[in-house]
Amino acid sequence: MSQTTDNNMHEPSQNRMGTQPEGRLLFSMALPMTVSMLFQALYNVVDSYFVAQLSQDAMNAVSLAFPMQSLLIAFSVGTGVGMSALISRALGEKHEDRAREIAGTGMFLFLLTAAVFCLIGLSFGRRFFAVQTENAVIVRYGGDYLHVVMGISIFLYAQVAMERLLQSVGRTDKSMIIQLTGAAVNIVLDPLFIFGYAGFPRLEVMGAAIATVIGQGIAAAVGVFLNLKYNPVLRDSFRMVGFRGRIAADIYRIAYPSILMQSIGSLTTFCMNQILLGFTEAATAVYGVYFKLQSFIFMPVFGLNNAMVPIISYNYGAGRMDRVRRTYRTAIAAAVSFMALGTVVFMAIPALLIGIFNPSDEMLSIGIRAMRIIAIHFPFAGFSIIAGSVCQSIGNPFHSLLISVCRQVLVLLPVAFLFSLTGVLDNVWLAFPAAELVSFTLSFFFLRKTIRGALAKFHAE
C-alpha cells in the first residue's frame, strides 16, 4: 500500500482529535475502553469467584500474589503511557517518522522488561509467599500462580503494547477488541483448568494462571493483526523495533511516575496485608475481594482517563490549550460522578457483593464494614486520577509521583499502622479515606499549577 494511501487512512482519526467537540470526542473514545475494562473487571471477579470455590486459602494465595502481579502490570502500563503520550504528541506536531521510532523503541522496552520479570518470577515466586505466611497451602498455591503469570509475562507485555499503539492514534474501538478477546478467553478457560472440566487436568490455582496467560497470548496476536490492518501510520514500527537511548529516556521520563506510583501501590498492598494478617487471615481475603470489586468502579474511570491522554497530548502538541482545558474538565466531571455512584452501591449492598466469593461468616462480617468505610473515598479518587494524568500528559510527571508517595507512603501506611495499634480492625480501613483526602488536596494544587505553567509557556512563545 502506498504512503499516500496510508496517510489518507490515518488522517480522519487524527483530525478528529484536533477538531471534534471535546465532550463527544472524549466519550466516543472512552466508551470502547470503558466497555473493555468493565469486561476485564468482570473477568477479575469471575476468576476470583472460581478460585474462592476451592478454599479461603486459595483466595488468600491470589490476594497475597497481588503485589507482585501489580508490579508486573505497573511496568507494562507505565511504559505504555509513556510511549502512547509521546506518539500522540509527535503526531500532533506532524512528525510521523518520529512517532514510528517511538513505537519501535517502546516495543523493544516491553520485550526487555518482560524478560526481566520472567527471571524474577521463576526465581523468587515461591519465596515471596514464604516470607508472608507459614501456611504451606497458601505458599504452594501462590508460588504456582506467580511462576506462571510472571514466567510467561511476555504475552501481557505484547498485549499492552498493541493496545497502546492503537490508542495513541485514537483507535480505541480496536484496542477494545484486544481486551475483550483476552478477557473472554480467560473466562472460558478458568473453570476448565481450575476444576478439570471437559477432560482438562485439575490444576486449581495454577489453572487460573494458565488461563490468564493463554488469554493474554491470544489477545496479543489479535492486537498485532489489528495494528497491521488499521494502524497504517505505525505499521512500519514493527520493522523498527530496537533501542534508541534518547527516545527510551523520553518514554521513561513520562512513564516513571506511573511505574513508581503502581510500584509504590504494590509495596503498600504488601504492607497492608502484613498489618491485616496481624488480625486474621480473613481480613486479607476481604482486602483481596475489595480490589476485585472496586475494579468495577475504577476501571471505567481508567478507560475515560486513557481516552483523555492522547486527546490532551495531541492538542498540547498542536498548541490548543483551549481544547486541553475543556477535555480535562469534562473528564473530571464524569469521573467524579461515576465514582460517587460507586460509593452509593458499596454503601447499599456490601453483603450482596461480598457474597459472590463464597465468604465465611467471619469474612462476611469484616467485609460489610470494610466496604462501607473504604468507599467514602471514591469521588476524591476520581478527581485525583484525572488530574494526575493531565499533569503527565503535558510534561509534569513528577507531580503525580509526589502525590502518590504522599498518599500511600506518608499517609495510608502510617495511619493504618497507628490505627491497628488500637486493636480494632475497622479503624484500619479508615486510613483509605484519610489518605485520599490528602491526595485530592495535592492533586487540585498541582493541576492548577501545571495548567498555569502550560498557558504561560504558550503565551511566551
Higher pLDDT among residues 236 and 109, named by residue: 109
Least confident window among 104-108, 123-127, 395-399, 433-437: 395-399
Q: Are 393 and 309 in contact (CB under 8 A)?
A: yes
Overall pTM surpassing 0.85 (yes/no)? no
DSSP letters for 322-369: HHHHHHHHHHHHHHHHHHHHHHHHHHH-HHHHHGGG---HHHHHHHHH
Q: Look at residues 66, 450, 62, 119 and name the one whose alpha carbon lies nearest to residue 262.
A: 66
Share of the chain above pLDDT 90, in %: 36
Q: Which phi and psi (to 5°) does residue 372 adopt? A: -70, -35
Higher pLDDT, 274 or 23: 274
The residue assigned the cell 481508567 is 302
| pLDDT tens digits along 35-80 | 777 777 777 777 788 888 888 888 888 888 888 888 888 898 889 8
Distance CA(183)–CA(216), nearest Å, equals 8
pLDDT at 397: 66
324 vs 400, higher pLDDT: 324
> pLDDT tens for residues 18-33?
667 778 888 888 887 7
pLDDT digits (tens, 9 = 90+) for 186-199: 989 999 999 999 88
- Per-residue three-class SS string for 87-113: HHHHHHCCCHHHHHHHHHHHHHHHHHH
Q: Is residue 296, in this structure, part of any structural domain at all? A: yes
Task: Report the pLDDT value the prediction gives residue 3, as an integer from 0 to 100.
Answer: 40
The pLDDT value recorded for residue 338 is: 92
Grid-cell match 492503537, residue found? 166
Nearest to 196 by CA among 53, 359, 66: 53
Share the mean pLDDT of the chain.
86
For range 247-258, the mean pLDDT? 85
pLDDT in tens, 203-220: 999 999 999 999 999 999
Measured distance CA(420)–CA(405) in Å, rounded: 21
Residue 15 lies in a domain: no
Residue 2 lies in a domain: no
Which range, of 142-151, 173-182, 390-399, averages the lowest pLDDT?
390-399
pLDDT on residue 458: 67
Asked if the structure places residue 339 within a domain, the reply is yes
Residue identified by cell 478467553 is 185
Asked whether residue 5 is assigned to any structural domain, the reply reads no
Triad 183, 185, 190: Cα angle to 5°: 95
**Does pLDDT of 249 surpass 50?**
yes
Q: 10 Å Cβ neighbour count for 123? A: 12
Q: How many domains would you assign to the chain?
A: 1
Any domain includes 116: yes
C-alpha closest to that of 298 among 379, 188, 234, 390: 379
Distance (Å, whole) CA 315 – CA 296 = 30
Mean per-residue pLDDT for 169-176? 80
User: Could you give the 3-state DSSP secondary structure of residue 260?
Assistant: helix
Contacts of 133 (CB under 8 A, 6+ apart): 60, 64, 139, 277, 281
pLDDT in tens, 96-154: 888 889 998 999 999 999 999 999 988 888 888 888 888 888 899 999 999 999 999 99
CA distance 193 to 209: 9
For residue 432, what are the domain limits?
Answer: 20-460
Name the residue with cell 506518608: 410
- Whether 179 maps to a domain, the answer reads yes
Q: Mind listing the pLDDT tens digit for each residue in 355-365?
A: 988 888 999 99
Total residue length of the chain: 461
Alpha-carbon distance 12 to 104, whole Å? 23
Cell of 32: 470502547
Is position 107 within any domain?
yes
Determine the Cα–Cα distance for residues 76 and 265; give it in Å rounded to an integer. 15
Helix axes 245-277, 413-420, angle to 10 degrees: 10
